[in-house]
Amino acid sequence: MEAIEALKTRRSVRRFTGQEVPPAVVEDIVDCGRLAATALNLQPWEFVVVTDPETRHRIADLTDYGKFIAEAPVCIAVFCQRDKKYFLEDGCAATQNMLVAATAHGLGSCWVAGHKKPYADAVAALLGVPETLALVSLVALGYAAKKKAGPKKRALEEVLHWERFGGR
């Protein structure tokens, strides 16, 4: 799949078939995350891939809007070094790269917030992550149970401004 097509067709998926995702595909998706833009090339990220059903259920139970993680065959937890100035931006860039890579691989995915959530430390503890790292996001990943059209997005003309706000 071409990059532009993957960007324009990516949708959040919360229902999965349960079919196993090949480890090589998961590794390629994480590799795309690791290659994201990063301030000062600090690369503050660490990725924890969770395929164990019991652990995914425990993560899902901790979240407020991520209950579907229990049914996704893969959950990727994105952590970043909390002492790096732009860790949140870098972790978000890595997360977005993985969402697009999942689409390119024919998979569905959904980003679940991590940073500033009351469950962030509990997820980190569950996964044995050191306190020096902050949870940025959780990515549910798998084959979509059904194809669906995405939500209506604002038109380009509504959001694009040339030279100054309201321009052109």
Distance CA 6, CA 15 (A): 19
Amino acid 127: pLDDT: 98
* Average pLDDT rounded to a whole number, residues 137-150: 91
Q: Over the stretch 52-103, which tens digit does the pLDDT of each residue have?
A: 999 999 999 999 999 999 999 999 999 999 999 999 999 999 999 999 999 9
Name residue 100's amino acid. Answer: V
Q: Over the stretch 97-133, which tens digit does the pLDDT of each residue have?
A: 999 999 999 999 999 999 999 999 999 999 999 999 9
Q: Considering the chain, what percentage of its residues have pLDDT values greater than 70? A: 100
Token pair listed for 91: 């972790």
Domains of the chain, CATH where assigned: 3-159 (3.40.109.10)
Confidence of residue 149 (pLDDT cuts 50, 70, 90): confident
Distance CA 71, CA 116 (A): 24
Token pair listed for 74: 């893969």
User: Does the pLDDT of residue 148 top 80, yes or no?
Assistant: no
* Average pLDDT rounded to a whole number, residues 39-52: 98
Q: Considering the chain, what percentage of its residues have pLDDT values greater than 90? A: 89
Name 95's Cβ contacts closer than 8 Å, sequence gap at least 6: 33, 78, 111, 136, 137, 139
- DSSP 8-class letter at 19: P
Confidence of residue 147 (pLDDT cuts 50, 70, 90): confident
Q: Over the stretch 54-67, which tens digit does the pLDDT of each residue have?
A: 999 999 999 999 99
